[in-house]
């Protein structure tokens, strides 16, 4: 075993043992603890958990690679703008109001705000989004195990599945939240230490954000010398329209992600939910302001050392990643030298570097010691597992709470609901493992597809459900259906892993979610004009939920004690009634 593998194993064993210990100490026996951690997580810890849950393997493992090895950094900046901008939308437009509404899950909000048909459509959308998203996380786990521990990627995914199952099933949302706070600590330390060290090496400045600016001119010149576009040049690989479409899909998708939204239900109050958002934005910024620097540093180191090197004279780190198939060299002109001049770093060229290796390989490229390499590997696993656990809980709650309890057995005890939830989580982990072993693309690409699906399905119904009291149940169900069917259909139609057909109007699969979202929005606006409006009482609840402070009307509705003439609260023009949440389970977190 090499020093790198030994240190990786040490950090992985220590961190995994810590995660399981936290889950054991946080184990729960009621649905409030399992689904929303009892609504008792302090804002700083909740913010760290939100940051870990939201950033995922795509942010830690793949984003810097996208920025670096799409021929220039400008094209990759859509991920920075989309994911950070979307979080602002979520924190400002949705999170506090959904928390005040007081429901466990996004489908539960949809069911209460609209009706049970809309809830079922929302459950399907949540399952589709979550399974696509979790595929990217488990794929990232396989990459780390394969490279740093010499474990086959399939077995790496299996190990990751077992760890997630253990701490997610034991502690539910409570265990996952405290585990994710710990995972954020691991991943941010693992990300910042090599970034600071390399910034000192290349720019003489310990702040990567400043060191990054100091090398950009040199990197631009290096790329031009090799026949590539300047690193900072705009619109060389994608049009302005596609930049807008992809950025918007990521932004609105972020604001509609069910596994992130549920995080705001774990806060102690609406006020705590707002502070959780503030803390999360701070924690996220620590990584997102450094990621462009890591990408630029890696690109600079690769281009200054690899082009012109003999095929048999590459450095040890290069050979290690070639052995696991994540770097490829094709000596197209048979001259025995890796030539990059005049071509890109991708298919059809002499040098192909997988986007998923950039952050993980950065310490080795810079010649940093083995303990730092092992720490980065542990950070990559923390990023992937933290998001995977949040997604699996969404899948579990969708099946146990929104299908089993609401539709099949409304009289189920809390113990029965927990059993069903844990069984659903186990089944979801098996499916997630299969998708991780057979992913439809590299990590960030798969995750970007999930964001497009979330934008096309959830954002319009959540936004209009809060800010337009006359959005109807029929319109919500129709809008979600149109949005997700159109977006998923286009993604399957164009992705090489599936049908591989040509793009329509040059719109990429990662940007089509914006079109799907617009179709969803238009469908709701139009259909709402011709279908029964929500009851007057529900319209008052929607109005009250937008105003700060305690609302007796909203609280009574959230607790299931609000009634209209003794007949219950009608949620649409047809007079449908939600199940009383006070029957058979906890009525929800304290407010």
**pLDDT (tens digit, 9 = 90+) per residue, 437-482?**
877 655 556 777 888 999 999 999 999 999 999 999 999 999 999 9
Angle between helix 358-365 and helix 370-399 axes, rounded to 10 deg: 170
Closest by CA position to 239, among listed 506, 517, 515: 506
Mean pLDDT of 370-392: 84
Burial 364-377 (b: 16+ CB within 10 A, else e): bbbebebbbbbbbb
Is pLDDT larger for residue 233 or for residue 188?
188
Q: Are 506 and 246 in contact (CB under 8 A)?
A: no
Nearest to 476 by CA among 109, 93, 127: 109
pLDDT band at 37 (very low <50, low <70, confident <90, very high): low
Place of tokens 């198939």: 325
Q: What is the pLDDT of residue 570?
A: 43
What is the C-alpha separation between 539 and 543, in angstroms, rounded?
A: 6
pLDDT at 557: 66
The more confidently predicted of residues 201 and 166 is: 201
| 476 touches 118 (CB < 8 A) | yes
What number of H helices and E strands is found in the chain?
A: 24, 2
Q: What is the mean pLDDT of residues 52-69?
A: 76
The Cα–Cα gap between 265 and 590 comes to 10
Q: Where are the alpha helices (DSSP H) in 458-551?
A: 459-467, 473-494, 512-527, 536-545
Residue 453 parent element (H or E): helix 443-457
The answer on pLDDT for 298 being more than 90 is no
Predicted structure pTM score: 0.80
Quick one: DSSP state of residue 267?
B
156 C-beta neighbours (distance < 10 Å), count: 26
What is the distance between the alpha carbons of residues 65 and 321, in angstroms, rounded to a whole number?
14
Query: What does the pLDDT read at residue 183?
Result: 85
- Is the pLDDT at 268 greater than 80, yes or no? no
- Domain segments of the chain as ranges: 3-299+368-443
Average pLDDT over residues 69-83: 75
Q: What is the spatial distance between Cα 224 and Cα 230, in angstroms, rounded to a whole number?
A: 6
What DSSP string runs through 266-312? Answer: SBSSHHHHHHHHHHHHHHHHHHHTTHHHHHHHHHHHHHHHSTT-BTT
504 pLDDT tier (thresholds 50, 70, 90): confident
Mean pLDDT of 525-534: 95
The two structure tokens encoding residue 219: 């990197």
Please tell me the distance from the alpha carbon of residue 37 to that of residue 273, in angstroms, as a whole number: 14
pLDDT at 224: 84
Is the domain 3-299+368-443 a CATH 1.10.132.20 member?
no
Please tell me the distance from the alpha carbon of residue 51 to that of residue 91, in angstroms, as a whole number. 12
The more confidently predicted of residues 309 and 28 is 309
The tokens for 210 are: 């400043």
Q: Check pLDDT > 70 for residue 343.
A: no
Average pLDDT of the chain, as a whole number: 81
**Secondary structure of 302-353 as H, E, C letters:** HHHHCCCCECCCCCHHHHHHHHCCCEEECCCCCCCECCCCCCCCCCCCCEEE
**Predicted pLDDT of residue 347:** 60
Residue pair 132/453 in contact by the 8 Å Cβ criterion: yes
Provide the H-helix boundaries in 95-152: 95-101, 106-113, 116-148
> What is the Cα–Cα distance from 377 to 361, expressed in whole angstroms?
9
Asked whether the beta carbons of 27 and 170 are under 8 A apart, the reply is yes
Report the C-alpha gap between 431 and 587 in whole angstroms.
Answer: 31
pLDDT tens per residue across span 397-424: 888 888 888 888 888 888 888 888 888 8
**pLDDT tens across 549-582, in order?**
656 676 666 666 665 543 334 444 333 333 333 3
Q: Mean pLDDT over residues 74-83, rounded?
A: 80
Query: Stretch 34-43: mean pLDDT, rounded?
Result: 74
pLDDT at 383 (0 to 100): 80
Q: What value does the mean pLDDT take over residues 313-338?
A: 85
Better-scored residue on pLDDT, 215 or 54? 215
pLDDT of residue 175: 78
- pLDDT value for 4: 82
132 near 432, Cβ under 8 Å? Answer: no
Q: Which helix (H) or strand (E) holds 45?
A: helix 43-57
Percent of the chain with pLDDT over 70: 87
pLDDT band at 548 (very low <50, low <70, confident <90, very high): low
In the chain, what's the furthest Cα-to-Cα distance?
Answer: 86
Which pLDDT band, with edges at 50, 70 and 90, does 192 fall under?
Answer: very high
Q: Are 322 and 295 in contact (CB under 8 A)?
A: no
Mean pLDDT, residues 126-146 = 82
Residue 487's Cα: distance from chain center in Å?
18
pLDDT at res. 104: 64
Distance between CA atoms of 556 and 144, rounded to whole angstroms? 48
The helix (run of H) or strand (run of E) holding residue 64 is: helix 63-69
Average pLDDT over residues 480-508: 87
- In the predicted model, is pLDDT for residue 591 greater than 70? no
The mean pLDDT of 343-367, rounded to a whole number, is: 76
Residue-wise pLDDT for 1-12, tens only, equals 678 888 888 998
Among 5-9, 248-252, 441-445, 535-539, the minimum mean pLDDT is found in 441-445
């Amino acid at each position: 075993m090499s020093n790198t593998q030994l240190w990786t194993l040490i950090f992985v064993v220590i961190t995994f043992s810590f995660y399981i210990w936290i889950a054991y100490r946080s184990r729960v026996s009621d649905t409030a603890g399992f689904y929303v951690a009892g609504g008792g997580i302090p804002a700083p810890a909740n913010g760290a958990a939100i940051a870990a849950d939201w950033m995922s393997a795509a942010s830690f493992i793949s984003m810097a690679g996208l920025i670096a090895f799409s021929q220039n950094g400008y094209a990759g900046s859509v991920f920075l703008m989309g994911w950070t901008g979307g979080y602002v939308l979520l924190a400002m437009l949705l999170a506090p109001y959904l928390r005040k509404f007081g429901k466990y899950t996004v489908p539960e909000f949809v069911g209460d705000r609209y009706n049970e048909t809309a809830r079922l459509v929302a459950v399907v959308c949540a399952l589709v989004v979550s399974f696509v998203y979790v595929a990217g996380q488990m794929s990232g786990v396989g990459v780390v195990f394969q490279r740093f521990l010499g474990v086959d990627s399939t077995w790496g995914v299996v190990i990751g599945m077992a760890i997630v199952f253990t701490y997610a099933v034991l502690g539910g949302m409570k265990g996952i939240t405290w585990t994710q706070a710990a995972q954020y600590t691991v991943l941010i330390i693992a990300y910042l230490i090599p970034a600071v060290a390399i910034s000192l090496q290349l720019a003489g400045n310990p702040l990567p954000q400043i060191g990054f600016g100091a090398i950009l001119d040199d990197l631009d010149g290096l790329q031009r010398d090799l026949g590539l576009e300047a690193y900072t040049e705009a619109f060389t690989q994608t049009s302005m329209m596609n930049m807008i479409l992809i950025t918007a899909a990521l932004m609105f998708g972020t604001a509609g992600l069910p596994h992130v939204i549920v995080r705001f239900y774990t806060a102690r109050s609406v006020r705590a939910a707002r502070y959780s958002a503030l803390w999360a934005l701070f924690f996220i910024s620590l990584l997102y302001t450094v990621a462009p620097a890591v990408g630029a540093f890696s690109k600079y180191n690769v281009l200054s050392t690899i082009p012109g090197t003999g095929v048999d004279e590459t450095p040890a780190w290069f050979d290690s990643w070639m052995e696991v198939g994540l770097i490829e060299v094709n000596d197209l002109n048979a001259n025995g030298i890796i030539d990059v001049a005049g071509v890109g770093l991708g298919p059809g060229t002499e040098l192909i570097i997988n986007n998923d290796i950039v952050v993980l390989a950065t310490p080795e490229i810079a010649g940093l010691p083995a303990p730092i390499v092992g720490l980065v590997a542990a950070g990559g696993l923390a990023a992937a597992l933290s998001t995977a656990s949040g997604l699996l809980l969404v899948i579990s709650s969708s099946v146990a709470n929104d299908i089993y309890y609401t539709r099949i057995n409304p009289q189920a005890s809390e113990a029965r609901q927990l059993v069903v939830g844990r069984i659903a989580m186990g089944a979801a982990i098996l499916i997630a493992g299969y998708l991780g072993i057979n992913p439809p693309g590299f990590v960030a690409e798969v995750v970007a597809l999930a964001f497009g699906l979330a934008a096309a399905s959830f954002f319009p119904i959540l936004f209009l459900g809060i800010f337009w009291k006359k959005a109807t149940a029929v319109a919500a169900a129709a809008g979600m259906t149109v949005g997700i069917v159109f977006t998923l259909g286009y993604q399957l139609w164009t992705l090489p892993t599936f049908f591989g057909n040509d793009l329509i109007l040059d719109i990429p699969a990662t940007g089509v979610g914006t079109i799907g979202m617009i179709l969803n929005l238009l469908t709701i606006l139009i259909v709402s004009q011709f279908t029964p409006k929500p009851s007057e009482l529900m319209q008052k609840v929607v109005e009250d939920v937008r105003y700060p402070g305690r609302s007796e009307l909203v609280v009574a509705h959230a607790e299931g004690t609000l009634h209209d003439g003794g007949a219950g609260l009608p949620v649409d023009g047809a007079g449908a009634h939600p199940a009383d949440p006070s029957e058979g389970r906890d009525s929800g977190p304290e407010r």
